[in-house]
Amino acid sequence: MKLWVGLGNPGAEFLNHRHNIGFMAAERISERHRFSPWRKKFRGETADGVVGGEKILLLKPLTYMNDSGESVQAAAAFHKLAPPDITIFHDELDLAPGKVRVKQGGGAAGHNGLRSTDRHVGNDTWRVRLGIGHPGDKALVHNYVLGNFAKADKPWLDLLLDAVADAAPLLAEGKPEDFMTKVAWLTQPPKGR
């Protein structure tokens, strides 16, 4: 079994925030791969399913971003999962909108959700970094990540979330490079005529 965690903040007011792209990815994977209904567990919401032949527990912590690690630790401890069995889907300022990178471990780079998960389960987890772009000025970052995606973002965002869900079997099979390649291929803009 693997634990896939989408980071975000609970509540309708945060639903379309850039910071909630991890929740959005988890929801799209759940829909695409016909997971069980979401239910409250481990201070979050969970759904079970199978992706790429692997049993996956999806988790959306309901602890708010800064305490995400508490929910992740509870789920990991219950299922006796080590950090390498955990994949965290999160927003990434340092990637262009719609770009995806996967890596194991590393620093939190100012991301409070990652900082919390690192503190509670260690930083040897896998991370799926979902590019949201940078506002261009460090002083604007807080309001940017806690702001809604613009209407103009909807086409690339939907394309990205669909691509992540479609390529998820490669991630489940332990093929992060192939996953990134497939997402990049699926999110290419259509060729002009």
Active-site residue, 79 included = no
pLDDT at res. 32: 97
What pTM, to 2 d.p., does this model score? 0.96
* Alpha helices per DSSP H over 107-175: 112-121, 141-145, 154-172
Q: Pick the catalytic residue: 19, 33, 90, 111?
A: 19
Residue 192: what pLDDT?
A: 59
Closest to 166 in 3D by CA, of 145, 187, 191: 187
- Residue 83 has what pLDDT? 97
Q: Which residue has the tokens 């909807």?
A: 154
CB atoms within 10 A of CB 142: 11
**What H or E segment, with its residue span, contains residue 47?**
strand 44-51
Domain boundaries, the chain: 2-186
> Two tokens at 118?
């690192």
CATH no., domain 2-186 = 3.40.50.1470
**pLDDT value at position 22?**
98
The pLDDT value recorded for residue 96 is 95
Q: What is the pLDDT along the chain (193 residues), one digit of tens a residue?
A: 999 999 999 999 999 999 999 999 999 999 999 999 999 999 999 999 999 999 999 999 999 999 999 999 999 999 999 999 999 999 999 999 999 999 999 888 889 999 999 999 999 999 999 999 999 999 999 999 999 999 999 999 999 999 999 999 999 999 999 999 999 999 987 675 4
Beta bridge partners of 50: 55
- pLDDT value, residue 129: 97
Cα–Cα nearest to 98, from 40, 178, 156, 17: 156
